[in-house]
């Protein structure tokens, strides 16, 4: 029997790869331009042919089974290699285009204010930034570099550490002035604490930060809950409460006095920021220039004379 006869149809594998990467039949349907029912049918047909499930259907989401994970990893790598090969032989890859993936928060608060320096020094390179909070496919032929927070362990990715981070409460100057003294972490419980949703287990929220500062978290806290970190920062800028500031993301806002730090308490982030490049191929010249630039930029973070992060700490008083 030929190898091809042992494989599912290419159309089915395409649907499966998208569904497994996005963890959603609906999102896969949107990406592929077909209906959710068509995605479900293709997956069901594969499972019937294999004789075992590829996904566990849970409430409002799907999760890969162990066998599904094995097939997903193989399909992702195979499609990545095929795309790279096609680009190489048809010369469709833009040699001077640089495609960078970063989370929305990192892109907006750290990368975008600085990337002009790279473009100024290398005007021949067309830079495209793909903002996505989901974990991207590192070996994708489209991506030259991926910037992510984590532990540095990414399959099929070569990771280089940029910097760790420090986490502390921040708010707008107006909120700080009106709120009265906030001298220690326990004082925060009487204030509006802005939080945000995240699926990243290494990302620190109030439920982790407060206990780390020896504060018992009540069953319910006051404050606004946002879907994204960027929304939480905007809420704080508009005086709606106190949010946890990640130093490398809020440093520019602190320098501009648009946000101020409250209390001297802070904790170190569990992970660090990394720039990840594919291991299956050598970085093209534009990517090598970017990797050199961002690693150099990460070493130029502002520090005060004592060697600690240059953040602004205020003591509030009754207005």
The CATH number linked to 59 is 1.10.10.10
Tokens at 197, concatenated? 């949703």
Last residue of a domain, one of 67, 90, 113: 90
Last residue of a domain, one of 75, 90, 105: 90
| pLDDT score at 91 | 54
* Alpha-carbon dihedral angle through residues 308, 314, 104, 109, given to the nearest 10 degrees: -70
Do 246 and 201 fall within a single domain? yes
State pTM to two decimals.
0.64
Last residue of a domain, one of 90, 124, 155: 90
Do 247 and 215 fall within a single domain? yes
Residues 6+ apart with CB under 8 A from 217: 206, 207, 210, 211
Domain holding 116, by residue range, is 97-164+271-298
| pLDDT score at 170 | 97
How far is Cα 83 from Cα 97, in angstroms, rounded to an integer? 16
Do 39 and 52 fall within a single domain? yes
| pLDDT score at 193 | 95
Do 122 and 82 fall within a single domain? no
- Kindly report the CATH number assigned to the domain that includes residue 185: 3.40.190.10
The answer to whether residues 100 and 130 touch, using CB atoms and an 8 Å cutoff, is yes
**Phi, psi of 308, rounded to the nearest 5 degrees:** -100, 165
3-state secondary structure the chain: CCHHHHCCCHHHHHHHHHHHHHCCHHHHHHHHCCCHHHHHHHHHHHHHHHCCCCEEEECCEEEECHHHHHHHHHHHHHHHHHHHHHHHHHCCCCCCEEEEEECHHHHHHHHHHHHHHHHHHCCCCEEEEEECCCCCCCCCCCCCEEEEEECCCCCCEEEEEEECCEEEEEECHHHHHHHCCCCCHHHHHHCCECEECCCCCCCCCHHHHHHHCCCCCCCCCCCCEECCHHHHHHHHHCCCCEEEEEHHHHHHHHHCCCCEEECCCCEECCCEEEEEEECCCCCCHHHHHHHHHHHHHHCCCCECCCCCECCCEECCCCC
How far is Cα 55 from Cα 64, in angstroms, rounded to an integer? 4
pLDDT tens across 281-290, in order?
A: 778 889 999 9
| pLDDT score at 78 | 86
Into how many domains does the chain fold? 3
Nearest to 100 by CA among 170, 147, 32: 147
The answer to whether residues 49 and 8 touch, using CB atoms and an 8 Å cutoff, is yes
| pLDDT score at 40 | 92
Name 130's bridge partners: 101
Side by side, the strands of the sheet bearing 157-163 are 126-131, 97-102, 145-150, 272-278, 157-163
Residue 319 lies in a domain: no
Whole-Å CA distances, 28 to 65, 120, 124, 140:
18, 38, 35, 17
| pLDDT score at 100 | 92
Residue carrying the six token digits 């992702």: 76
What's the full length of the chain, in residues?
A: 319
Do 172 and 229 fall within a single domain? yes
**Could you list the pLDDT tens digit for every one of the 319 residues in the chain?**
454 557 888 888 899 999 998 888 988 898 889 999 999 999 999 999 999 999 998 877 889 999 999 999 888 888 888 877 776 666 544 457 899 999 899 999 999 999 999 999 999 899 999 887 776 665 566 788 999 898 888 777 888 999 999 999 999 999 999 988 888 999 999 999 999 887 777 788 999 999 999 998 888 777 888 988 999 999 999 999 999 999 999 999 999 999 999 999 999 998 999 998 887 777 888 999 999 999 988 876 543 322 333 333 332 222 2
How far is Cα 152 from Cα 69, in angstroms, rounded to an integer? 21
Do 115 and 105 fall within a single domain? yes
Do 148 and 289 fall within a single domain? yes
Distance from the Cα of residue 38 to its chain's centroid: 30
Do 85 and 111 fall within a single domain? no
Residues 6+ apart with CB under 8 A from 216: 210
Nearest to 301 by CA among 165, 127, 195: 165
């Amino acid at each position: 029997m030929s190898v091809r006869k042992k494989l599912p149809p290419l159309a089915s594998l395409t649907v499966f790869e998208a569904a497994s990467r996005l963890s959603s039949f609906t999102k896969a349907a949107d990406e592929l331009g077909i209906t959710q029912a068509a995605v479900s049918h293709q997956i069901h047909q594969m499972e019937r042919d294999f004789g075992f499930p590829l996904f566990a259907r849970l409430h409002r989401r799907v999760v890969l089974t162990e066998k599904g994970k094995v097939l997903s990893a193989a399909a992702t790598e195979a499609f990545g290699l095929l795309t790279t090969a096609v680009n190489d032989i048809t010369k469709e890859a833009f040699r001077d285009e640089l495609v960078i993936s970063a989370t929305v928060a990192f892109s907006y608060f750290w990368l975008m204010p600085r990337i002009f320096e790279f473009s100024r020094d290398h005007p021949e390179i067309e830079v495209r930034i793909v903002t996505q909070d989901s974990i991207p496919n590192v070996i994708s032929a489209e991506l030259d570099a991926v910037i992510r927070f984590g532990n540095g362990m990414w399959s099929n990715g070569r990771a280089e550490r940029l910097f760790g981070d420090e986490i502390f409460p921040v708010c707008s100057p107006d909120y700080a002035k009106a709120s009265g003294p906030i001298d220690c972490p326990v004082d925060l419980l009487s204030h509006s604490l802005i939080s945000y949703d995240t699926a990243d287990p290494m990302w620190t929220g109030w439920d982790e930060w407060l206990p780390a500062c020896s504060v018992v978290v009540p069953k319910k806290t006051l404050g606004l809950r946002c879907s994204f970190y960027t929304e939480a920062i905007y809420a704080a800028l508009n005086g709606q409460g106190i949010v946890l500031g990640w130093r490398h993301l809020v440093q520019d806002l602190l320098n501009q006095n648009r946000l101020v730090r409250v209390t001297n308490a802070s904790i170190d982030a569990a992970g660090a920021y990394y720039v990840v490049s594919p291991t299956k191929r050598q970085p093209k010249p534009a990517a090598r220039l970017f990797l050199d630039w961002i690693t150099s930029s990460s070493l130029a973070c502002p520090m005060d004379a004592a060697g600690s992060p240059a953040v602004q700490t205020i003591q509030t008083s009754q207005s």
